[in-house]
Structure 1
Amino acid sequence: MQKITNILIGLILLSTYAQEEEKVNVRIPRGDILSYANPSEVGFDSLYIHTKVDSIITNGIKERAFPGAQVLVAKHGRIIFHKAYGHHTYDKLQAVALDDIYDLASVTKITAALPALMKLVDEQKIDLDAPFSTYWKPWRKIDTKKDITLREILAHQAGLQPYIVFLNRLYRKNGKLKKRFVKKRANRRFTNQAYDGIFIKNKFRKKMYREIAKSPVSADRTYKYSGLSFLIFPELIAELTGSDFEGYLQHQFYIPLGATTMAFRPNTKQFENHIVPTEVDTVFRKTLTRGWVHDENASLLGGISGNAGLFATATDLAKMMQMYLQYGTYGGKRYISEATVKEFIRVQYPENDNRRGLGFDKPSLGNADLSLSKAYPAPEVSEESFGHSGFTGTFVWADPENELVYIFLSNRVYPSRAQRNLYNLNIRPAVQQVFYRAALPLR
């Protein structure tokens, strides 16, 4: 009887994958382009995967870690799991769909700023070990910053301040916005749109750059995560390429990859997809944030930044991560050289207890020997693996050794960024671990 039940469940799962494939209009491709398959086709136990992942995610929704989530996993270049759970908000008016668009938060760092920088390294337009001030002139006369290399910056080994809350510069002591920086309508000096009816003075970005230049630097140069340089990268990339940041990314990466939803400021695009909301902002935007970047610093730059601001669907994210996993190629096209990808995903300063690659996050040092509760991410990932997390509740990871791409999307900041059960319940590593334990010969 149990055998018959398992066969029926397997047939249902096969039907589900066919329906999901049709929903997102995925063309079955060839070569090194992602296609869909059942878990059993790559030696995975479908019943085990669905049972475990469903349990973890539904418990997360119950515990209000997020109102909804989406998980996509590709193995050997084949998407063997792609499932949506829950709703956009707790009122359950809009169910999560497979082609929903999410605010990627800091995943932007490795899907926007980083591919451009990697290509510039390939073209020998930047040198990882040259002082960053070679390319960014404002740092040349600052003693604490003039000798910092791009390698140190990308590995978070430069001692830069983690974050500056530039939003504070918009407010007076009485809590009112400074009209010299913010307008309700656009004009030629206020074209950077932060939200509906909120336009930031174009020159405010120069103020941000000056404050970053003046910010303190730690003398010991130990590992300290900082996103400040990623606010600068778009302008630097534009200077070095002669193209605007978003246009360069679209032309060089997103359009050739077929990542058609990967974009900044999706509310200004003609996407038919639903955009998942993030936080109910009670301070700046005074409403539910949807279709505009959640990160305030990125919003003050008009929603186009290297630290945050990119939006995408799970399938488009998977294409970018599969390209990285394949060391720079996808669909028969080479985007970045193999040598450059391998250099960027390599741990740079292990002697300083720094697990980071160049821009990419890496497993905790000694991760394989840690329990799930202490590991980052799942302890089963290979040392070669890499990825990044996002503040809004996103996470991407690629493991070349195991040929596995893992995408987790949620809006854990709804209704407030104070919601931390995504972390407390260790949901993202727990789901990831399922796919390392699902191999049939090992169970």
Structure 2
Amino acid sequence: MRIPATTAAVLLLTTVALPASAAEAPLTPSDKTTTSPTTPHHNTRARFDRPYHGFAPANTVLRPGTPDYAGLDTGPIKAFQSSLTTWTNPASGDNYLFPGATTLMAHNGTVVERSATGHAVKYADATHELPDDQKVPARTDTIYDLASISKLFTSLIAVQQLETGTLDLETPVAHYLPEFAANGKSDITIKELLTHTSGFDADPVPSLWQGYPDIPSRKQAILDTKPINPHGTTYLYSDLNMLTMQLVLEKITGKSLDELVREKITKPLHMTDTGYNPPKSKLPRIAATEYQTTPARGMVRGSVHDENSWSLNGIAGHAGVFSTVDDLAVLAQTLLNGGTYKGHRILSEHGVKLMEENFNQAFPDDSHGLGFELNQIWYMGGLSGPQTLGHTGYTGTSLVIDPASRSFAILLTNRVHPSRDTPSTNTARRGITQALAQAMPLPTSGRSWHSHQTGATTSTLTTEKLDASGTVDIDFRSFINTEPTDLLSLEASTDNGTTWNQVKLRATGKGAPSGPVNTLSGQSARAWWQVHTELPGTKGLQLRWRYTTDQTYEGRGVNLTRLKVTDDSGTLLNTEKPNTHLTANGFAELPPNNHH
């Protein structure tokens, strides 16, 4: 598959960009042409139930602003910032996740959250903290080791080469690197590298840094690697895919990967704090990672954490890029804009669509575009969906881009400082995406209930006993954004709640299941469903809306509104009337005109 070369776009830019570095410094005169807006603009499109289609306007440029200005609810964002304080505080016990973090959330071109918490450098070695006067606080312009988010930069260069016709998705890698054909790899394609379906093991064995004496022998080891699965039969996330992709790109361009990233991504986008092997002049702004004894590197700071990348002089297809939240924000907005930012185009719209397209439909839990992971709820949380792009990094980093809401969330941490033996940062990764998703309005008229879980696994909303006769009609509206195993059901009881039986439901609306179902779930629709069912009338009938999940993750949750029950005699329950009583356990009634 070849795609057309990009064409440069000349755009009129009317908004102000977020500074790319030195974020705590005053705005420059050019930045002050538009100051940080605070007056709400009541963006009627800022609704989670009205997803966008297509790219953002190509002249969209990031600007600072308040959540209120962007039409968002401030509450979930403030709650996330409070959680950051907990996650960076060792006194939090099991809730302590990392020494420091820098975060950024943006919606529709407005940066609505940008903060730093904790320390970029806190430890002298594996167990001892530095004196307080030697600790380095995390800042909004702190530079972090991105770890595997680096794979996205390799992938971007690959897609650029697809656009110029020098690379082809379906062509075997061995066409570009004849030595790669060794050990049964002659048919592995470029697409299989970019979607982790090549058959490679997760990591080089032995490791590049331990098993080989120099860079030439390490690169030869990549070429000689033997797959552990037949190509195209298995999804297995592997560093070897992007290490191989690096060798392909360097061969067909005649340039090193760091040159390619600088010339074709960071320079045109003015990402001045992004690249491999940051200069020593930036060391005061770089977060430390691990104190390593094997190899004997001491406290690693300003040098890539990943040992295999380190053994390749810090320039590797799978790891090695350092960056800030501001620079990554520019990259994220570039993709939302269809490949262009401030008049500088790095990809065509078709190229961006290739990164959003799921090439792994044969592996339903491992949706993948070219380079980007898609629809991974375990870290994308409430922003996850079929087109949601993202990636994580071992150092505790994550980037999630949601085209459906034209939003993105960036979390950069130094989780491995001073040791990699720390808890998973997935709670924080989901926390930032959940906060942004829940901040987007989901307006309803009348009374409504929300069931986003906060530790509980079951939420119920139960009616009083209804003296029903004839045929009972039940109608309600639901907004469901959950993983497939988190289920909403309607249950009926006629014995005072001793036993409950599921009721078959019919839902209508975008993405609703066809035909009658016992439960409702899913997160791809982002639309309200009108739900209806019928029951025979019985004296003492009770109804219960029941939502079940687990304690790990879900999407945005479940919303219910306009619950109405009628029988042959008239209306038995109507939540549009203020005095209608329901017993909520886990479900929380939301205030009128809520944005939750």
TM-score by length of 2: 0.60
The separation in 2 between residues aligned to 1:70 and 1:350, in whole angstroms, is: 34
- The one-letter code matched in structure 2 to 1:205 is R
2:174 is the alignment partner of 1:133 = yes
User: Residue 168 of structure 1: CA displacement?
Assistant: 7.1
Please give the residue correspondences for 1:38-437 in structure 2 after superposition, counting only pairs within 5 Å. Answer: 38-50=66-78, 52-62=79-89, 63-88=95-120, 89=122, 91=129, 93-110=135-152, 112-142=153-183, 144-167=184-207, 170=210, 181=213, 201-212=214-225, 214-218=226-230, 221-266=233-278, 268=279, 270-271=281-282, 274-353=285-364, 354-364=366-376, 375-423=378-426, 426-437=427-438
Residue 41 of structure 1: CA displacement? 1.1
Residues 359, 24 of structure 1: CA spacing in aligned structure 2 closer, same or farther, 3 A cutoff?
farther
Provide Cα deviations, 1:211-233, integer angstroms capped at 9, x if missing partner.
Answer: 42x34334671211111021133
Shift of 1:343: 1.6
Alignment CA distance shift 1:262-1:256 (3 Å): same
CA shift, 1:324, in A, is 1.4
Mapped to 2, the partners of 1:24 and 1:245 lie a distance apart of 34
Distance (Å, rounded) in 2 between the aligned partners of 1:41 and 1:87: 30
**1:104 Cα shift?**
0.3
CA distance in structure 2 between the partners assigned to 1:84 and 1:336 by the alignment: 31
CA contact (8 A) 1:23 1:98 kept: no
- What 5-or-longer segments of structure 1 have no aligned partner? 1-16, 172-177, 182-200, 368-374
SS at 2:380 equivalent: coil
Moved more, 160-169 or 129-138: 160-169
State the Cα distance separating 1:123 from its structure 2 match: 0.4
User: Structure 2 CA distance, aligned partners of 1:338 and 1:24?
Assistant: 35
Equivalent position amino acid for 2:371 in 1: G
What's the offset of the Cα at 1:238?
Answer: 2.2
Kindly indicate whether the alpha-carbon contact (under 8 Å) linking 1:151 and 1:358 is maintained by their aligned counterparts in 2: yes
Higher fraction of strand:
2
Q: Distance in 2 between matches of 1:376 and 1:68?
A: 19
CA distance in 2, matches of 1:409, 1:109: 16
Deviation at 1:140, TM superposition (A): 2.9
Structure 2 vs 1, CA of residues 318 and 36 (structure 1 numbering), >3 Å: closer, same or farther? same
Q: Is the 8 A contact 1:60 1:421 kept in 2?
A: no
SS in 2 for 1:289: strand
Amino acid at match of 2:66: N
Task: Please give the alpha-carbon distance, in whole angstroms, between the structure 2 residues aligned to 1:276 and 1:56.
Answer: 21
Measured in 1, the distance between the counterparts of 2:26 and 2:387 equals 31
* 1:53 positional shift: 1.2
Rg: which structure is higher? 2
Q: What amino acid is the match of 2:110?
A: R
1:96-139 CA distances to partner (integer Å, 9 max, x unpaired)?
Answer: 011110000000000x2011101000001111111121112212
Look up the SS of the partner of 2:102 in the other structure: strand
Greater helix content: 1
Question: Partners in 2 of 1:102 and 1:22 — Cα distance?
Answer: 17
Alpha-carbon distance in structure 2 between the residues aligned to 1:137 and 1:220: 20
Mapped partners of 1:21, 1:202: distance in 2: 37
Aligned to 2:52: none
**CA separation of 1:275 and 1:254: change in aligned 2, threshold 3 A:** same
Write out per-residue CA displacement over residues 217-261 of structure 1, whole angstroms, 9 at most, x where no aligned residue. Answer: 346712111110211333321221232221222121101101001
**What SS does the aligned partner of 1:279 have?**
strand
Q: CA RMSD in A?
A: 2.4
In the aligned structure 2, how far is the partner of 1:307 from the partner of 1:246? 12
Structure 1 segments, 4+ long, off by >6 Å, are none
Match of residue 438 from structure 1: 439
Q: Distance in 1 between matches of 2:205 and 2:325?
A: 30
The amino acid across from 1:396 in the alignment is L
Identity of aligned residues (%): 30
- Point out which structure has higher relative CO (alpha carbons under 8 A, 6+ apart): 1
Contact 2:145 2:322 in 1 (8 A): yes
Structure 2 counterpart of 1:392, which letter? T
Amino acid at match of 1:23: A
Residue 274 of structure 2 contacts residue 323 of structure 2 at CA under 8 Å; is this kept in 1?
A: yes
Matched letter for residue 359 of structure 2: Q
Counterparts in 2 of 1:230 and 1:392: CA distance versus 1, 3 Å: same
